[in-house]
Amino acid sequence: MFVRHAEPADYARVIDVVDQWWGGRPMAAMLPKLFFIHFRDTSFVAEDDEGLAGFLCGFRSQTYTEEAYIHFVGVDPEHRGSGLGRALYERFFAAVAPRTVVRAVTSPVNERSIAFHQALGFEIDRVDEDYDGRGEARVLLVKTPISEP
C-alpha cells in the first residue's frame, strides 16, 4: 500500500467510486475538487496494485490556528479493517502537527464512522440537529490533543 499527497488528477478516480463505497448513497456532491487543488498538503490518496484503495481530504483551519478539520475520508470496502483508514488519519495528524485539535463531522446514522473515530481518540463534542441545514443532523467529533492513536 502506498499513501501519497492527493493531486488534481486523482479527483476523477475518487468521484467515480465514492457513491459506490457509501453503498449507493449520493456522496459525490459533498467532495468538491478544490480539496485536490488547494489542500494537497493535507489530503492523501492510498493506492495498491489494483488502484485506488482510499483517500482523506482535510485542511488546517484558517480561522482557528490550533485546529484542523478532516472533511471526507473513504476506504474501498475491500480494504476496510486493514488499518488503511488509521494510516490515512495518522498521515493527516503528522501533516497538521503541531495543531492541538482535529475536528470531523459525520452523520448520526453512520455508527461505524462514529466508532472508528472514537477508536482513534476522537470524542463526541455534540450532536447538532441542524448542522447542514434544517433537519440535517451531524455528530461533531473532536480529538485533542493530537497524539498517537
As a whole number of angstroms, the distance between CA 20 and CA 116 comes to: 20
What confidence tens digit (pLDDT) does each residue in 21-36 have?
988 889 999 999 999 9
Mean pLDDT rounded to a whole number for the chain = 93
Number of domains in the chain: 1
Residue 13: CB partners within 8 Å, gap ≥ 6? 51, 52
> What does DSSP assign to residue 31?
S
pLDDT band at 146 (very low <50, low <70, confident <90, very high): low
- CB-side neighbour CA atoms (13 Å) of 112: 8
Residue with cell 496494485: 49
What confidence tens digit (pLDDT) does each residue in 63-116 have?
999 999 999 999 999 999 999 999 999 999 999 998 789 999 999 999 999 999
Q: Is the pLDDT of residue 119 over 60?
A: yes
Domain assignment present for residue 14? The answer is: yes
Residue 18: CB partners within 8 Å, gap ≥ 6? 27, 28, 31, 74
Domain assignment present for residue 148? The answer is: no
Domain assignment present for residue 17? The answer is: yes
Name the residue range of residue 70's domain.
2-143
